[in-house]
C-alpha cells in the first residue's frame, strides 16, 4: 500500500481508484473510506446511506455500480471472516508504522541515531512470533466441524446493533418542497416590502422591515438543519447475544455515572437519593457500573443523605432486579397510578412490595429528619459522629473529600450479591481560585473516575433526572459498542422528559418541539447538540482527541470546504498551530501504546516525558496512564489506598493550572451553558453524535413549573449563548480550518448562539400594533392584488410548513402552539435581559451569579404552578400586554368616531395586536395566579391598567372632532367683556 493512502474501514484494503484516476469516494459528505467492493456489498444488502454520517450516496454513483454489478461476481470473498481479520491486522500495522515514523523523526539523539528504531523492530518480531505460535495452537486445538456448527453464535449476534430509519419520502418530499417555496415567497415578499415604503409612517415601516428581515434570517437558521431528519432503532437483544454469553463474563463496556448537586436546600436530598438509587438498580452488570456523586457545596446534609441512600440500596436493588420493576426510582415507582400487579407472576410480590414501601417510607422520614436538622447551622459548625468538625463547614474554603460507600469488599446487598460502586466526591475549594461552577465539577469527576475505575464511557445526569428505563445504558451501547457506527461517536444524547408538569404545559417546559423535531433533524447531519444531562460520552472524546477513523482530507478535495468557507486557506494563529501539533503528538503516543503490548516502564516513562503529557493533562502519572487505556480499566496491581490519595490530588484546586483542562479537554469553560460549548468542540474535531429515543423514555426529571423560575431558567440558557457568541468559540468564525464541521451543523450551532438577539426586533415588533392603533398609522400601504397574493401565500406557507412538520415528527399542534407562545414570552423578557447582561459582562466585567433553580419536593400536585414570584423579568411582557390592550380599546373608539370607512384599516391593526395578546396569554394567565380566586396582583394591575387607559383617553379625545383653529378664528365673533 502507498503510505498515507486511504484504507477501507470494512475490509482493510486499499480503496482503489475511480475512472478519473482519483481515490474512490463513496460519500462526498464525510469522505468515509470504503472500497468499491465493500460499497457494492452495502448496496446489495439494501443500505444506500453512509455508515458514518447517514447521508445518502450519490445517485450517479449508484447507477454506475448497478450497471457494473451485472458483469461481476458476488462479494462473498470480501466478506469472508478470515480475510477481514487479515485486513484489520494490515490496517493496524500501517497506522502504527506511520505513527512510528513521526515519532522516530522527533525522538532522536544528538548524533542523529533514532532511539526507538531498535525497539520498534524488536516489537514487530515479537508480534510476528506471537501470531505464528497462536495460529499453530489454534490449528491444533481446532474442534471437529460438528462441534464448530454447535458453538457458532446466534444469528442475531452478527447483525447490526442499530439501524437508521429515514423519514418516508411521501412525508419528507412535500416538507422540503414547501420549505423551498416558502423561501421563494419570502424573497418576493421582501422585494414588495422594500419597494413600497409607507411615506406617512416611514419610521414605523422601516422598523417593521428590519424586524421582518431578521425573523426570516432566524427562520433559515432554524429550518434548514431539519432538512434530513431520521429515526433510529436499536436491538438490545443482539447486544446481549454478542457480548453476554452464558457461562462467560460479560463483555459489555463499563460506565461511570456522574450526578452533580450544589445546594441540598434547593435540590432536595430525597430527589438526589432517588436518582442514585435508580442508577444502582440498572439492568446492567454490577461490576460495570460506578456512580460518582459530586457535592460542589460540601454540605454535610448531602453526605449524610448519601450514607442513608447507600444503606437503603442494599434492600432496594435486589427488589428491583428480582421483580423487574420500572421505573427504579422508589419515589416515582410507588407514586404510579397504575395496576402494579400487571405482568407480575411471583406470589411473593405483593408481600415484598408492601414491605419495601414500608421501608421506603421509613427512609423518607430519616432523610426529612436530616433536612429539618440542617435548616439551622450551629455557630461552631457541623460535627461528624466521631466528634471531629465537618471539613466542608466553609463551602468556599475546604479540602477535597472522597468517600467510597459501595463496591468494595463486604459491601453487599441483603441477598449477598455485589453492588455497584458508589462514591462521594467534593473537590477542593480555596479563595483566589477560579472553580468554573458545574463545568469544573464535571472535570473533577472525570479525573477522579479515571483514577478509581476508568470506565471507557461516562453518563452524566443532573441530580433531579432519574433513570426511567433500566435498559437505557444498553440502548446507548448499541451505538457506542458497534464496531462500525461507534468508531466516530463522541456521545449518545437522550431526550429530556419531565414529570410534574400540568397537562396544558402553559410554559412549554417539556420542550417537545426542540427534542422531537430539531434534535431528530440534527441526527441526520452530524448529530444532536449536547443538552447537559442524559448523555453517554466516549471518554477519549472528552480528552480532546479526534475520532480514530477520521481520514486526512487532501488539499484539493472539495469536501475540505464543507463549512461554506472559501477555498483559499486562511493562515492559522500560531497558538492554534501549536495546539494542533500537540494534539497530533498525543494521538501518535496513544496509538503507539495501544499496539505495543510488552513495553517496559522505562519506555513508557520516556514516551510520556517526551510528549509532555503533564502540560496537557496535569501532573499525575496515574491519571496520565489511564488516558492511554482506550478500553478503560485500572491495573490489577494498583493499591486502593494509593489510588484514593491520587484521586484527592487530581481534585485539588490548583491541579488545572497551566493545563488544557476547560480549554481543549473535558467540559469547556467560558459559558454558563458549558454543554453547548463542549459538544461544539467535539463536532469541530470531526466526531459525530447520535440521538437515541427509546419507546420508554430513558430519563425523566423535574422542571420549574411556575412562571418566575421558568423565566430565570431561560435567562441562564440565553446568557450562556450570548457568552459563546462573544467568545473565541463563536460558531460564526471558529473551526473553519479543519473543515470537519458540516455547514448545516454550523447553521444549527449559529442558531443556538444568536437566538437571544431576536429579542430586540421581537419587542419592537410587538410594540408596533399598539403604536399603530394609538397614532392611526400603519406599517403596510393599501394592498394591491399582487400584494394580497403574496401575503396570503406567506401565511399559507407558514401554516403548511408547520402541518408537514407535525406530520413527520408526531408532535401535537398544542405543543407547537405552546412552543410558539413561549418563544414570544421568553423573547421579550429573559432573552432581552440576557443580551444586556452578556454585553455588561464583556464590556464592564460585571458577572451575574445565578442561583440554582429550586426543585419541587412537596407532594402537592402542581403546587408551585400558581405561585407568582415578582422579578424584573416580568416587566417587559406586562408592559406589552397593557399597551396592546389599551391600543385595541383606543382603536375601536377611534373607528366609532370616524365612521364606517375606518373599520377596514382597523381590521389589520387589531389583528396584529391580537396576535401579540394571544402569544402573551399564558404569561397573563400566570400573573393572574390560581383560577378559583382573584389574587391581589390582579387588583393592582387592574388599577394600573385603568389609570393608564384614562390618561391615554384624555390625550387622544376619541369622541371630539378635530377642528381647524384658523376656521374657528374666522367664524367666531369676538365679544368685549
CA distance 156 to 182: 46
Partnered with residue 966 across adjacent β-strands are: none
- For the chain, what is the total number of helices (H) and then of strands (E)? 34, 13
Annotation-wise, does 437 bind a ligand?
Answer: yes
DSSP H or E segment with residue 403: strand 401-406
Q: Which three cell numbers stand for residue 563?
A: 463549512
- 675 a catalytic residue: yes
Q: What is the DSSP letter of 485?
A: G
DSSP H or E segment with residue 318: helix 300-323
Residue 147 DSSP SS3? helix
Q: Is the dihedral of CA 436, 439, 441, 444 positive or negative?
A: negative
Annotation-wise, does 267 bind a ligand?
Answer: yes
Helix segments in 516-562, DSSP class H: 519-523, 539-542
Which residue among the candidates 488, 675, 709, 815 is catalytic per the annotation? 675
Annotation-wise, does 322 bind a ligand?
Answer: no
Partnered with residue 166 across adjacent β-strands are: 230
Annotation-wise, does 462 bind a ligand?
Answer: yes
- 523 a catalytic residue: no
Let me know: does 593 contact 599? Beta carbons within 8 Å: yes
Q: For the purposes of burial, counting CB atoms within 10 Å of the CB of 947, is it exposed (0-12), middle (13-18) or buried (19 or more)?
A: exposed
Looking up cell 503529557 gives 613
Comparing CA positions, the residue from 302, 243, 216, 309 lying closest to residue 267 is: 302
CA distance 647 to 320: 32
Partnered with residue 406 across adjacent β-strands are: 422
DSSP H or E segment with residue 869: none
Tell me how long the chain is.
Answer: 977
Bridge pairing between strands 401-406 and 421-426: antiparallel
Q: What is the DSSP letter of 443?
A: H
CA distance 120 to 126: 10
Comparing CA positions, the residue from 664, 701, 299 lying closest to residue 460 is: 701
Annotation-wise, does 471 bind a ligand?
Answer: no
Report CA Rg, the chain: 32
In 3-state terms, the chain is what percent helix, strand and coil (to 5)? 55, 10, 40
Looking up cell 437519593 gives 273
Annotation-wise, does 266 bind a ligand?
Answer: yes
Which residue among the candidates 296, 464, 505, 523 is catalytic per the annotation? 296
CB within 8 A of 366, min separation 6: which ones? 308
CB within 8 A of 398, min separation 6: which ones? 298, 391, 392, 426, 428, 429
CA distance 529 to 675: 8
DSSP per position, 622-652 = HHHHHHT-TT----TT--HHHHHHHHHHHTS
CB within 8 A of 647, min separation 6: which ones? 402, 447, 448, 451, 452
The answer, yes or no, to whether the previous bond of 327 is cis (omega within 30 of 0) is yes
Q: For the purposes of burial, counting CB atoms within 10 Å of the CB of 706, is it exposed (0-12), middle (13-18) or buried (19 or more)?
A: buried
DSSP per position, 706-774 = SHHHHHHHHHHHHHHHHHHHTSTT-TTTSS-SS--S-HHHHHHHHHHHHGGGGHHHHHHHHHHHHHHHH
SS3 for 574-605 is HHHHHHHHHHHHHHHHHHHHHHCCCCCHHHHH
CA distance 33 to 9: 6
> Binding site for Mn(2+), residues?
438, 462
Binding site as annotated, residues for UDP-alpha-D-glucose: 260, 266-267, 296, 437
Known binding residues are 260, 266-267, 296, 437-438, 462
- Which residues are tagged catalytic? 296, 675
Amino acid at each position: 500500500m502507498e503510505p498515507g493512502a486511504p484504507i477501507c474501514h470494512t475490509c482493510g484494503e486499499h480503496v482503489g481508484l475511480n475512472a478519473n484516476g482519483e481515490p474512490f469516494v463513496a460519500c462526498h459528505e464525510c469522505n468515509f473510506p470504503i472500497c468499491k467492493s465493500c460499497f457494492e456489498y452495502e448496496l446489495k444488502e439494501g443500505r444506500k446511506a453512509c455508515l458514518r454520517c447517514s447521508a445518502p450516496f450519490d445517485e450517479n454513483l449508484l447507477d454506475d455500480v448497478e450497471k457494473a454489478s451485472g458483469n461481476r461476481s458476488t462479494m462473498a470473498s470480501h466478506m469472508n471472516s478470515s480475510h477481514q481479520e487479515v485486513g484489520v491486522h494490515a490496517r493496524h500495522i500501517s497506522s502504527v508504522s506511520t505513527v512510528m515514523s513521526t515519532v522516530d523523526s522527533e525522538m532522536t539523539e544528538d548524533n542523529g541515531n533514532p532511539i526507538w528504531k531498535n525497539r520498534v523492530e524488536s516489537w514487530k518480531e515479537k508480534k510476528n512470533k506471537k501470531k505464528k505460535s497462536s495460529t499453530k495452537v489454534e490449528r491444533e486445538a481446532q474442534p471437529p466441524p460438528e462441534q464448530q456448527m454447535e458453538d457458532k453464535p446466534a444469528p442475531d449476534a452478527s447483525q447490526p446493533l442499530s439501524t437508521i430509519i429515514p423519514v418516508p419520502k411521501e412525508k419528507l418530499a412535500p416538507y422540503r418542497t414547501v420549505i423551498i417555496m416558502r423561501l421563494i415567497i419570502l424573497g418576493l415578499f421582501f422585494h414588495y416590502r422594500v419597494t413600497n415604503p409607507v411615506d406617512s409612517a416611514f419610521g414605523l415601516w422601516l422598523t417593521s422591515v428590519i424586524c421582518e428581515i431578521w425573523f426570516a434570517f432566524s427562520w433559515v437558521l432554524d429550518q434548514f438543519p431539519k432538512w434530513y431528519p431520521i429515526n433510529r432503532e436499536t436491538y438490545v437483544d443482539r447486544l446481549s447475544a454478542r457480548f453476554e454469553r452464558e457461562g462467560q463474563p460479560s463483555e459489555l463496556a463499563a460506565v461511570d455515572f456522574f450526578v452533580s448537586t450544589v445546594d441540598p436546600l434547593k435540590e432536595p436530598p430525597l430527589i438526589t437519593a432517588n436518582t442514585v438509587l435508580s442508577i444502582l438498580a440498572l439492568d446492567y452488570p454490577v461490576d460495570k457500573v460506578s456512580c460518582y456523586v459530586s457535592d460542589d457545596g460540601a454540605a454535610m446534609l448531602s453526605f449524610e443523605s448519601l450514607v442513608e441512600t447507600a444503606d437503603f440500596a442494599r434492600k432496594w436493588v435486589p427488589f428491583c432486579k428480582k421483580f423487574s420493576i420500572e421505573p427504579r426510582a422508589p419515589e416515582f415507582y410507588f407514586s404510579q397510578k397504575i395496576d402494579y400487579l400487571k405482568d407480575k407472576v411471583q406470589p411473593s410480590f405483593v408481600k415484598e412490595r408492601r414491605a419495601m414501601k414500608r421501608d421506603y417510607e421509613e427512609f423518607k422520614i430519616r432523610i426529612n429528619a436530616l433536612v429539618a436538622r440542617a435548616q439551622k447551622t450551629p455557630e461552631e459548625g457541623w460535627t461528624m459522629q466521631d466528634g471531629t468538625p465537618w471539613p466542608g463547614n466553609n463551602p468556599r474554603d475546604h479540602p477535597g473529600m472522597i468517600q467510597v460507600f459501595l463496591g468494595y469488599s463486604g459491601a453487599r446487598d441483603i441477598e449477598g450479591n455485589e453492588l455497584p460502586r458508589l462514591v462521594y466526591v467534593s473537590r477542593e475549594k480555596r479563595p483566589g481560585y477560579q472553580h468554573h461552577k458545574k463545568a469544573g465539577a464535571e472535570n473533577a469527576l472525570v479525573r477522579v473516575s479515571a483514577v478509581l475505575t476508568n470506565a471507557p464511557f461516562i453518563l452524566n445526569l443532573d441530580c433531579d433526572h432519574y433513570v426511567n428505563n433500566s435498559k437505557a445504558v444498553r440502548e446507548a451501547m448499541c451505538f457506542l459498542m458497534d464496531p462500525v457506527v461507534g468508531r466516530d461517536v463522541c456521545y449518545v444524547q437522550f431526550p429530556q422528559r419531565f414529570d410534574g408538569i400540568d397537562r396544558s404545559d402553559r410554559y412549554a417546559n417539556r420542550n417537545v418541539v426542540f427534542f422531537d423535531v430539531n434534535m431528530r433533524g440534527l441526527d441526520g447531519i452530524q448529530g444532536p447538540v449536547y443538552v447537559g444531562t442524559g448523555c453517554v460520552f466516549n471518554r477519549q472524546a472528552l480528552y480532546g482527541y479526534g475520532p480514530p477513523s477520521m481520514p486526512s482530507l487532501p488539499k484539493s478535495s472539495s469536501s475540505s470546504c464543507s463549512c461554506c468557507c472559501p477555498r483559499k486557506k486562511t493562515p492559522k494563529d500560531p497558538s492554534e498551530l501549536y495546539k494542533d501539533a500537540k494534539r497530533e503528538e498525543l494521538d501518535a503516543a496513544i496509538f503507539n501504546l495501544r499496539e505495543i503490548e510488552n513495553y517496559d516502564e522505562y519506555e513508557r516513562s520516556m514516551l510520556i516525558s517526551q510528549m509532555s503529557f503533564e502540560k496537557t493533562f496535569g501532573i499525575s502519572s496515574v491519571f496520565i496512564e489511564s488516558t492511554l487505556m482506550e478500553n478503560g480499566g485500572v491495573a490489577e496491581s494498583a493499591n486502593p489506598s494509593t489510588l484514593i490519595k491520587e484521586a484527592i490530588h487530581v481534585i485539588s484546586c490548583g491541579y488545572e493550572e497551566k493545563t488544557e483542562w476547560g480549554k481543549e479537554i473535558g467540559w469547556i469553560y467560558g459559558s454558563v451553558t458549558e454543554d453547548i460549548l463542549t459538544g461544539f468542540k467535539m463536532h469541530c474535531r470531526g466526531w459525530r453524535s447520535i440521538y437515541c429515543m427509546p419507546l420508554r423514555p430513558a430519563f425523566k426529571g423535574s422542571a420549574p413549573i411556575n412562571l418566575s423560575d421558568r423565566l430565570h431558567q431561560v435567562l441562564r440558557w440565553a446568557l450562556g449563548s450570548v457568552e459563546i457568541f462573544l467568545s473565541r468559540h463563536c460558531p460564526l468564525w471558529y473551526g473553519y480550518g479543519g473543515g470537519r464541521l458540516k455547514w448545516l451543523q454550523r447553521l444549527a450551532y449559529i442558531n443556538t448562539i444568536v437566538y437571544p438577539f431576536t429579542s430586540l426586533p421581537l419587542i419592537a415588533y410587538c410594540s408596533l400594533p399598539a403604536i399603530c392603533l394609538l397614532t392611526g398609522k400603519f406599517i403596510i400601504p393599501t394592498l394591491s392584488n399582487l400584494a394580497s397574493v403574496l401575503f396570503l401565500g406567506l401565511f399559507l406557507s407558514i401554516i403548511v410548513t408547520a402541518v408537514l412538520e407535525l406530520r413527520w415528527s408526531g408532535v401535537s399542534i398544542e405543543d407547537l402552539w405552546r412552543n410558539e407562545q413561549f418563544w414570544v414570552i421568553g423573547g421579550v423578557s429573559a432573552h432581552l435581559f440576557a443580551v444586556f447582561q452578556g454585553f455588561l459582562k464583556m464590556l464592564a466585567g460585571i458577572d451575574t451569579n445565578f442561583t440554582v433553580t429550586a426543585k419541587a419536593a412537596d407532594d402537592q400536585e402542581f403546587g408551585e404552578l400558581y405561585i407568582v414570584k415578582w422579578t424584573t423579568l416580568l416587566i417587559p411582557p406586562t408592559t406589552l400586554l397593557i399597551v396592546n390592550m389599551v391600543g385595541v380599546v383606543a382603536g375601536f373608539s377611534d373607528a366609532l368616531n370616524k365612521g364606517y370607512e375606518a373599520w377596514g384599516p382597523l381590521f389589520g391593526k387589531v389583528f396584529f395586536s391580537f396576535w401579540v395578546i394571544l402569544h402573551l396569554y399564558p404569561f397573563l394567565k400566570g400573573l393572574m395566579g390560581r383560577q378559583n380566586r382573584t389574587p391581589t396582583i390582579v387588583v393592582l394591575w387592574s388599577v394600573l391598567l385603568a389609570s393608564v387607559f384614562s390618561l391615554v383617553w384624555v390625550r387622544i379625545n376619541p369622541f371630539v372632532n378635530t377642528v381647524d383653529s384658523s376656521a374657528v378664528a374666522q367664524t367666531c365673533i369676538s365679544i368685549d367683556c
